[in-house]
Amino acid sequence: MTRIILMERPGGPEVLQPAEITLPPPGPRELRLRQTAVGVNYHDVYVRSGLYQTLPLPGVPGIEAVGVVEAVGSEVTGFAPGDRVGYVSGSYGGYAEARNLDAALAVRLPAGIGDAQWAATLMKAFTVCMLLHRVRRTRAGETVLVHAAAGGVGQLLCSWARHVGARVIGTVGSAAKAEIARAHGAHEIILYREEDVAARVAALTGGEGVAAAYDAVGADTFDGSIAALGFEGHLVNYGQASGPVAPFTPALLAGRSLTITRPIVFHYIRTPEKLRAMADETFAALAAGAFTPIDPLELPFAEAAQAHRLLEARQSPGGIVLVP
């Protein structure tokens, strides 16, 4: 029997319930994975709460994990039992101690970094690669705003943006988190629950505003992000930890010829070629010192609900993984 975390309906963390299934053999193009670390992401919270209705119910949430290949389907090439792989997938099923996975989704992971670190880092690092190098290319010398800079994506984003030469203004929810964001590369910090973000950005940029704002907080920060942008500035709204952004008119962007995007990382790795390119660029950036892997809080596999509670209470240390 294989342990899974099953969700029968949307709701609070308590809807994440341990269960058991019998796994069928892997299909011709699948790998059988024994998972060693399962990443818990904010995306999982949106799925669990019902904000995203993208997981058919009852279903197994989870979009990221690391594991060891135990068996390969008859048409699989390039993988063999014993290989360590990771994956990021919008097709769910990650909250499981073993699973069958489309081999096209598997990524061989560079050595020297533990399974838990990879399970906490892969999805977030791909996201940051997308933000800084796909959605809009960040240039040396420009100033960018990073909301929730001490969070999982936020830490990597501060670090990698600084690495390419940007000046990083990070926002955080508490003074304790300011130190975390600074340690990951933020040059300036704004306590965004106490201070006026746009006014502080104006003061820090001599009135110019930022070239780009990276905002996955959503409802609470959208207006401030728009107001913090300079001429031709770009807002990347890539999440909504505080709730979805209210509808707005394009006229909002006209005052300074602003642009806005709403990217999803799964779309940027939707073909084997795109996934390969994303993995290659991310692993090269890691090797070049653009960021360090996240050292996550490791919880027993059955404690998925507790992992969600910590994330929603803003108490994740940057990453949480479930260890089967």
Ligand X SMILES: NC(=O)c1ccc[n+]([C@@H]2O[C@H](COP(=O)([O-])OP(=O)(O)OC[C@H]3O[C@@H](n4cnc5c(N)ncnc54)[C@H](OP(=O)(O)O)[C@@H]3O)[C@@H](O)[C@H]2O)c1
Q: Which is nearer to ligand X, 43 or 99 (CB)?
A: 43
Which distant-in-sequence residues (6+ apart) come within 8 Å of 91 by Cβ?
102, 105
Q: Which is nearer to ligand X, 76 or 278 (CB)?
A: 278
3-state secondary structure of 113: coil
228 burial class (0-12, 13-18, 19+ CB within 10 angstroms)?
Answer: buried
Cis amide linkage into residue 58, ω under 30° from 0 = yes
Token look-up 């979805």 returns 244
Using CA of residue 40, residue 46, residue 47, residue 48, what is the dihedral sign? positive
Report the residue number whose CB is nearest to ligand X: 151
Nearest-angstrom CA–CA distance, 233 and 165: 18
161 with 185: CB under 8 angstroms?
yes
Residue 265 is a binding residue for ligand X (CB under 6 A): yes
Residue 324 is a binding residue for ligand X (CB under 6 A): no
Number of residues that this document lists for the chain: 324
Residue 160 is a binding residue for ligand X (CB under 6 A): no
* CB of 83 vs ligand X, minimal distance in Å: 26
Of the candidate spans 7-15, 200-208, 295-303, 306-314, the one that interacts with ligand X by CB under 6 A turns out to be 306-314
Could you give the string, one character per residue 110-139, with x where binding to ligand X holds by CB under 6 A and - elsewhere?
-------------xx--x------------
Nearest-angstrom CA–CA distance, 317 and 310: 9
Instruction: Show the tokens assigned to 152.
Output: 């999982």
Residue 148 is a binding residue for ligand X (CB under 6 A): yes
172 - beta bridge partners? 191
Q: Which is nearer to ligand X, 150 or 229 (CB)?
A: 150
**Member of 316, 321, 322, 324 binding ligand X (CB under 6 A):** 316
Cα radius of gyration rounded to whole Å, the chain: 20
Cα dihedral value 293, 294, 300, 304, nearest 10: -120
Residue 242 is a binding residue for ligand X (CB under 6 A): yes
Of the candidate spans 72-80, 145-153, 182-190, 227-235, the one that interacts with ligand X by CB under 6 A turns out to be 145-153
Residue 177 is a binding residue for ligand X (CB under 6 A): yes
**Member of 6, 132, 146, 153 binding ligand X (CB under 6 A):** 153
Residue 172 is a binding residue for ligand X (CB under 6 A): yes
Residue 3 is a binding residue for ligand X (CB under 6 A): no
Residue 41 is a binding residue for ligand X (CB under 6 A): yes
Residues that bind ligand X (CB under 6 A): 41-43, 123-124, 127, 148, 150-154, 172-173, 177, 216-217, 220, 238-239, 241-242, 263-265, 311-312, 314, 316, 318
